[in-house]
């Protein structure tokens, strides 16, 4: 063998021996400093010049990954594609803007991803609640965000202003409260009635955060109105009273339980404490206003937040529903 080339053979043999025997931590040092690990498994990252191999989970053979966003579908209707809504993307905390469903983005192994499906939901006859998903990019060359969870299956808003079914039952006879079947309420009475709430089949109401219900009536007719077991809430800034002498009570609406492609009925009891003044038919009704909660982007900070209204007090989510309890 040519003497001038024999040193190359010796060098290769020396490197292989160092790798196999890990003599003096040479391989560990090279692996940790230059990130050219081959076949490492187990161990701990090198520190202070050697002493262990990096865990296999810290090594990825792919130089980045192509992330495909979506595809988004309608919850309970998987054949319905949601292609006309955008997805707001955060990569390692940086807002990358709103991307189209099915578009791709170059990311890297271990990047932290936050997605807000249908965050720009303003168009179309059917609207959807914004859904959040978050994950860390796996070691792969390409993947779809729909593979990470089922969050991209979006809940549709209620279809019309009266679609959220609210029912109240009179205490005296158990009949459904209505303009023709009123609850008898005398001065100083304290009564408890049953109430029930249910979204339309295959539609949703405030699925990811608690909505708020506001009960308001003539302050001379009612001392207190309580929905038992529901937490008290602040009255939203957007709420409008029928008159200046009306008083309001607000409560967070608990989440609905889900079964068989729809929501179960949410049930509770309501206690009405009438004032000692006479109850008159013209002033004794109680207005019931339902405000759903959704994600929104704070226009001052750029942060994604949840609420029944945004930082400018504008409504978020779907249609707000109005009902009435009738008393005489």
Pull the structure tokens for residue 281: 């038919």
Residue pair 141/149 in contact (Cβ under 8 Å)? The answer is no
pLDDT 10s digits, 202-248: 888 889 999 999 999 998 889 999 999 999 999 999 999 988 889 99
User: Which helix (H) or strand (E) element contains residue 195?
Assistant: strand 190-198
- Please tell me what DSSP assigns to residue 26: H
pLDDT 10s digits, 114-132: 999 998 765 445 689 999 9
- What is residue 129's predicted lDDT score, i.e. its pLDDT? 92
When pLDDT is averaged across residues 2-7 and rounded to a whole number, the result is 55
pLDDT 10s digits, 143-176: 999 998 889 999 988 665 556 889 999 998 999 9
pLDDT 10s digits, 84-105: 889 999 999 999 999 999 999 9
- What is residue 284's predicted lDDT score, i.e. its pLDDT? 79
When pLDDT is averaged across residues 170-191 and rounded to a whole number, the result is 92
Pull the structure tokens for residue 314: 């504008």
- What is residue 29's predicted lDDT score, i.e. its pLDDT? 39
Residue 59 banded pLDDT, cuts 50, 70, 90? confident
Res 13 pLDDT > 90? no
Q: How far apart are the first and last CA of the chain?
A: 112
**pTM for this entry:** 0.79
3-state secondary structure the chain: CCHHHHHHHHHHHHHHHHHHHCHHHHHHHHHHHHCCCCCCCCCCCCCCCCCCCCCHHHCCCCCCEEEECCCCEECCEEEEECCCCEEEEEECCEEEEEEECCCEEEECCCCEEEEEECCCCCCCCCCECCEEEEEECCCCCEEEHHHCCCCCEECECCCCCCCCEEEEECCCCCCECCCCCCECCCCCCEEEEEEEEECCCCCCCCCCCCEEEEEEEECCCEEEEEECCCCECCCCCCCCCCCCCEEEEEEEECCCCEECCEECCEEEEEEEEECCCCCCCCCCCEEEEEECCEEEECCCCCCEEEECECCCCCECCCCCEEEEECEC
When pLDDT is averaged across residues 18-44 and rounded to a whole number, the result is 40
- For the chain, the domains span 3-58, 65-154, 165-325
3-state class (DSSP) for residue 75: coil
- What is residue 242's predicted lDDT score, i.e. its pLDDT? 83
- Please tell me what DSSP assigns to residue 120: T
Using CB atoms within 10 A of its CB, is residue 251 exposed (0-12), middle (13-18) or buried (19+)? buried
Average pLDDT across the chain, whole number: 82
Choices 1.10.3470, 3.40.50, 2.40.160, 2.60.40: CATH for 165-325: 2.60.40
- What is residue 126's predicted lDDT score, i.e. its pLDDT? 63
Residue 266 banded pLDDT, cuts 50, 70, 90? very high
When pLDDT is averaged across residues 297-325 and rounded to a whole number, the result is 92
């Amino acid at each position: 063998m040519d003497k001038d080339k024999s040193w190359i053979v010796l060098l290769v043999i020396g490197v292989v021996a160092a790798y196999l025997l890990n003599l003096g931590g040479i391989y560990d040092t090279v692996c940790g400093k230059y990130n050219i690990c081959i076949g490492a498994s187990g161990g701990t990252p090198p520190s202070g010049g050697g002493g262990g191999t990096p865990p296999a989970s810290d090594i990825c053979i792919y130089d980045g990954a192509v992330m495909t966003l979506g595809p988004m579908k309608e919850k309970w209707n998987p054949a319905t594609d949601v292609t006309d809504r955008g997805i707001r993307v955060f990569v390692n905390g940086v807002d990358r803007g709103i991307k189209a469903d099915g578009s791709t983005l170059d990311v890297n192994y271990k990047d932290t991803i936050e997605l807000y499906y249908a965050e720009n939901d303003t168009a179309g006859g059917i609207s959807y609640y914004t859904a959040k998903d978050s994950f860390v990019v796996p070691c792969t060359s390409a993947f779809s965000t729909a593979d990470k969870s089922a969050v991209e299956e979006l809940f549709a808003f209620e279809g019309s202003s009266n679609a959220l079914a609210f029912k109240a039952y009179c205490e005296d006879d158990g009949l459904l409260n209505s303009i023709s079947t009123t609850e008898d309420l005398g001065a100083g009475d304290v009564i408890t009635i049953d109430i029930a709430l249910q979204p339309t089949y295959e539609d949703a109401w405030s699925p990811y955060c608690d909505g708020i219900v506001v009960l308001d009536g003539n302050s001379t007719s009612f001392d207190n109105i309580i929905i038992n077991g529901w937490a008290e809430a602040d009255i939203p800034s957007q709420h409008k009273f029928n008159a200046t002498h009306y008083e309001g009570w607000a409560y967070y609406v608990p989440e609905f339980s889900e079964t068989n492609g729809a929501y179960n009925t949410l049930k509770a009891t309501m206690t009405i404490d009438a004032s000692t003044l006479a109850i008159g038919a013209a002033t004794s009704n109680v207005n019931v206003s339902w405000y759903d909660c959704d994600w929104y982007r704070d226009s001052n900070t750029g942060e994604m937040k949840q609420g029944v209204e945004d930082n400018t007090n504008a409504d978020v989510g779907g249609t707000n529903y109005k009902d009435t309890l009738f008393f005489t």
